[in-house]
Chains A and B, each alone.
Chain A
Amino acid sequence: MALDTLFDATIPGSELVKYESSIDSPLLIDREGDKPWTKQIGINSTIEPANYLISSDRELMIEKQLGKIELSEFPVDHPWLPQRALKILSKLEEGPIAEKELLLLMDLVADRATDHFQLEEGRFVALTFLGRVVEVSDTRVGLLKKIQGRKFSEQIFVWRVGFNSFSGRT
């Protein structure tokens, strides 16, 4: 069934646009008003009702599909983390957590970082709790020298690839 509609829409920085239509499907018209909506919507784009506007030159331009969302690649600097790790991280943000949970978190993060970065067994690594590698060294002393005195925006821990003991949470 056709709809007879009067649209009122405000384009930031432009005059009020009124448009009358008799249509069967929603109108989706490029806010720039001179072409159908074919722009790609970037990952940081905000799709708001204000974007679904009517052209001021009153051309009928119907596009049933809203452009295309181009999804960017995942960052390579930290690995995917399992839900258990994310839950503990969330708790950690709220305050102190039990040592057992912290050890579990470090274990999960270290395990994922090993796979993701294909870390060599036996090397010493300083990692953030999101799995970012801060520093790597062949020896514990070498690693500690590299991170000594530095300030990090995230908490880090030190660990030897392939081993279960963690230390040096700062």
Chain B
Amino acid sequence: MGITLSTATYKLTTQEARYGICLDKVIFPLDFRDLRYALAKNGYELSPVKDLPPPPALIGFGGEIARIKETRVLADSEAGEIAVTSRLLGEACQSFEDLANIIASELGLDLHSKVKYYQVTVHYRVTTGKTPFEEISKAENKEFMTKFSEIMKEDLSSFSIRLCPKGAVPNSENWFDIAIEPEVIDERFYHVGVVFRSSKRDKTEAFVKNLESNLLKLIGLIEA
């Protein structure tokens, strides 16, 4: 996938996008057998599991439950999480809505009704034609970096830029982390990793809607 800015051509490629929720329930409200049946009925391929114990035994489960096209459904019953991964963020959001609709119609559970938080995790590779580690150092705090260099007796520079909401606690339901750094295995590319959590659906959707264009604006600003 490519996105073009007006001043320069930046190519942003999604490596993996995950969209999901953590449910605000003590016991995971979806029975493993029912969930598998509902997904199979709607064209999903199920991951193989041998000899499930009969109901009413509760089954804990974690991992990839099913897939359809390039979307995978993941869940962890202990953590109360259910999510999808796709190749593109927009696809992941749409696939999660498809999943929520299937669960609502087949199993009678509205996933959005008891959400502790929504979570989006996405990794991008960005190329701008410039060298990221040189560009990133432009945005560092020169005064601090001089002092750091004196302590370490070596010329230092920032490897990455990480942004989070001011004053927010990482271990909370409302948080995000945007890491912009050189790709470790190929210094021509940026790796941009994003983790976003919010208890509000509309806030999550607004963040997702503007994310890719905002990331390119951030990189544009770094390279300006």
Contacts and interface: CB of A to CB of B under 8 A. Distances in A.
B63 A71 contact: yes
Interface string B42-81: 0101011111110001111111110111101000011000
Contacts of B61: 68-71
B159 interface: no
Given A80-B67, A82-B43, A116-B70, A70 B62 contact: yes
Contacts of A48: 51
A70 B43 contact: no
Given A43-B48, A47-B51, A71 B68 contact: no
Contacts of A112: 69
A70 B49 CA distance: 9
Interface string A26-47: 1010000000000000011111
B64 A72 contact: yes
B32 interface: yes
A67 to B, nearest CB: 7
Contacts of A64: 58
Interface of A: 26, 28, 43-48, 64-74, 79-83, 112, 115-116
26 contacts: A26-B57, A43-B48, A43-B50, A46-B50, A47-B51, A47-B52, A64-B58, A65-B57, A65-B59, A68-B60, A68-B61, A68-B78, A69-B49, A69-B59, A69-B61, A69-B62, A71-B62, A71-B63, A71-B65, A73-B72, A74-B47, A74-B72, A80-B45, A83-B43, A115-B70, A116-B70
Interface of B: 32, 43, 45, 47-53, 57-65, 67-70, 72, 77-78
Q: Which 6 A-B pairs have the closest CB atoms?
A: A71-B63, A68-B60, A69-B61, A65-B58, A71-B47, A46-B51
